[in-house]
A = this chain, B = another copy of it.
Amino acid sequence: MPRLIVHSFTISLDGYGAGPDQSLQAPLGVGAENLHTWMLRTRYFQQTHFNKGEGDLGTDNDMAAQGMEGIGAWIMGRNMFGPVRGPWPDESWKGWWGPNPVYHVPVFVLTHHPRPSLVMEGGTVFHFVTEGIEAALERAREAAGDKDIRVGGGASTVRQYLQAKLIDEMHLAVSPVLLGQGEPLLAGLDLTQLGYRCEQFTPGERAGFYRIRRD
């Protein structure tokens, strides 16, 4: 059965998935520039995001690539889609990723504010779901067929799916960064109680990778 997974989700050593005060200038919040360095430096990221053959091979690269394999649909929170808050003033914001986003499959964006679906180049279609996380998952399952569905983020979206015990598998990267404040991923969530256990550690070059599963 297709799984709902989180992959390559990066937290700081103090447990934050993003810093405080996210904005157009600081999409990951203040002080979080280095949170994703492990991924930015990989050949996979350089190729898929910048069409460049630079970047490092190794475990970090393998992890980044692995997270994109076999994914038939994505789910993300509205803050991961963009910096706009409240009702959409117009339809000009089309995500952070340019005309041909890296997803190449349907992406379901959780929001309280309806908006027509947005067809991008390369197979990515953003659908805006106002009926909550379970409705988004249902639509994503239909779209994904026999492939997995990946929850991209942010922290609050992942937390909601964890709390509902809907995530089957989660791969976290712990970066050598302190944020001090921001959006905690796991604080106050009793993952053991929710049926999760950590079953693997993989040492990367610039981050530690941890795999969590719910049986």
Q: Which of A184, A189, A203 lies at the interface centre, i.e. has the most chain B CB atoms within 10 A of its CB?
A: A203
A203 to B13, CA, bound (A): 14
Contacting pair A192 B180 (CB below 8 A) = yes
Contacting pair B207 A13 (CB below 8 A) = no
SS class, residues of chain A in contact with chain B? loop
Contacting pair A190 B201 (CB below 8 A) = no
Interface string of A176-209 (1 = CB under 8 A from B): 1111110010110111111011111101111110
A14 to B190, CA, bound (A): 9
Contacting pair A206 B201 (CB below 8 A) = yes
A: residues with CB less than 8 A from B are: 12-15, 31, 172, 174-181, 184, 186-187, 189-194, 196-201, 203-208, 210-212
What are 11 A-B pairs at a CB distance below 8 A? A13-B210, A14-B191, A175-B201, A178-B191, A178-B212, A180-B192, A181-B192, A184-B187, A187-B187, A201-B207, A207-B208
